[in-house]
Amino acid sequence: MTHGLLLKKDEPIYQGQVSGRCPSKKNTKKVVRRYGRTMVIYSAQFREWETRALVELRQTWNGKTIDQPLEAVFRFYFKNRQAESDLSNVIEAPQDALTKAGVIIDDKIIQVIHATKIFGHEPRVEIELRHI
């Protein structure tokens, strides 16, 4: 998109979205022991969302992986309040997806987060990243 171009201070360097209800990463995992090893396994619903997220994020980002401090804006859209997740729990999934998709080098470079839950809309998460 606009990575590498001259940007105004408040102009996003990345804007993207992931369709579908963003799951709480914390509440979709299970710790199991297999073959003497402890492993974390995520639910099928979470794995499906993450797979879709990686495809959609990679489609909207063709620049170099961002490695500078960022401010992130997350807007989580939900149809209703059924099984409503804590905002702090749903932030983790898109941050990790941004890293796995190669948009950012590591989610620890996100130093400021603005997150909002919005109800009565088609489920999705909209993401904006800005340099600090």
When comparing pLDDT for 83 and 23, which is higher?
23
At 3, the pLDDT band (50, 70, 90 cuts) reads very low
pTM, full prediction:
0.85
Query: What average pLDDT does this structure show over 87-115?
Result: 96
- Per-residue pLDDT reduced to its tens digit, 7-54: 455 789 999 999 999 988 776 777 888 888 888 888 888 899 999 999
Is 60 exceeded by the pLDDT of residue 1? no
**What is the reported pLDDT for 4?**
46
With 90 as the cut, is the pLDDT of residue 69 above it?
A: yes
Q: Are 92 and 25 in contact (CB under 8 A)?
A: yes
DSSP per-residue string spanning the chain:
--TTS---TTS-SEEEEEESPPPPSGGGEEEEEETTEEEEEE-HHHHHHHHHHHHHHHHH--SPPB-S-EEEEEEEEESSSTTPPPHHHHSHHHHHHHHHTTSBS-GGGEEEEEEEEEESS--EEEEEEEE-
Range picked from 34-43, 81-90, 108-117 for highest mean pLDDT: 108-117
What residue ranges define each of the domains in the chain, with the CATH number in brackets?
14-131 (3.30.1330.70)
